[in-house]
Amino acid sequence: MATITPPPNTPLTQPLPGDVGLWARLWFRLRYNFTNPESVKNLLLGTAGIVLFVLAWYATTELFKLPRFEKLPGPLAVWQEFTSTDPDFGTSLFTPQYYMHIWWSILRILAAFGLATALGVPLGLFMGWSKAFKDYTFPILELLRPIPVLAWVPLAILMWSGREAPIIFLAFLASFFATVLNTLLGVESIDESFFRAARCLGAKPHHIFFKVVIPGALPFIFTGLQIGMGVAWFSLVAAEMLSGEYGLGYLIWDSYVLSQYSVIVIAMGTLGLVGYLCSAAIRLVGRQLMRGTTRGTV
């Protein structure tokens, strides 16, 4: 079993051997981030940026109450509402409704993102693998992709019954297009010499597909998945505002209608945090799958 400390004589600036477990790698990366001067500098700069943003928010809303900002809730008011055991508007860190909205949004995003990945990645791979297939499908993709997600709302309601299916469909659309395009670009970025070398060595088409195409496109695929996750959250929130009953998007719109402005900021901050964690999870999975593979090589 791998220990949680780096092997002897392994400098913190070098990667760990491939046989070290996931938790050992995470511990090693954490130590590296707090001992490497460049990582510490980046962490301090990021923290300073957040602090400056909060100070500017406080100054414009609560301290000076500048025009156009005087009606917005300040950080102190939001924090007081968020941490209250008896919140004025019924939503805080200690209320079950808050977690119910988060849970509904996560379930919807997992369904939409899972469908977009399951359909978009194979479609992008085949479009890049077969020129004839791309010639048939790419014009349709480019025709549908620029249509805003909100323009699909009436059709989504007509096509799918109930409340959940239209919301998931709208979030799926945005993620699907981003995933397909980045996967296609990943296949097209592979140097032709890899294909020629594989054919010269006697590789069959299915061997080339699984041993050259998929590994070579992985960096672009995971970039597309991160973009797809971001636009899926964007589309989900818009869909929840229009036809949702639960979820963070619904919470934002309902709080606006009821003039509960602190809850709007709480829901927005929660969206940012949950979205960041989703993207971080995708990056973590991508690093594990692409160990030993760098961009531009297979």
pLDDT digits (tens, 9 = 90+) for 178-232: 999 999 999 999 998 998 898 898 888 888 899 899 999 999 999 999 999 999 9
236: how many CB neighbours lie within 10 A of its CB?
A: 29
Q: What is the pLDDT of residues 67-108, one digit of tens each?
A: 989 889 999 999 999 999 999 999 999 999 999 999 999 999
- CA-nearest of 175, 125, 151, 173 to 242 is 151
pLDDT digits (tens, 9 = 90+) for 54-66: 999 999 999 998 9
CB 187 within 8 A of CB 120: no
**pLDDT tens track for 232-264:** 999 999 899 877 789 999 999 999 999 999 999
The pLDDT of residue 80: 95
Mean pLDDT of the chain: 87
Rounded-to-integer distance, Cα 37 and Cα 43, Å: 10
Residue 217: CA count within 13 A, CB half-sphere: 29
CA 57 to chain centre: 26
Q: Provide the whole-model pTM.
A: 0.83
Q: How many CB atoms lie within 10 A of CB 248?
A: 27
Region 145-171 average pLDDT:
90
Selection from 111, 141, 142 nearest residue 239 by Cα: 111
Tell me what pLDDT residue 295 has.
45
Q: CA 6 to CA 296: how far, in whole Å?
A: 29
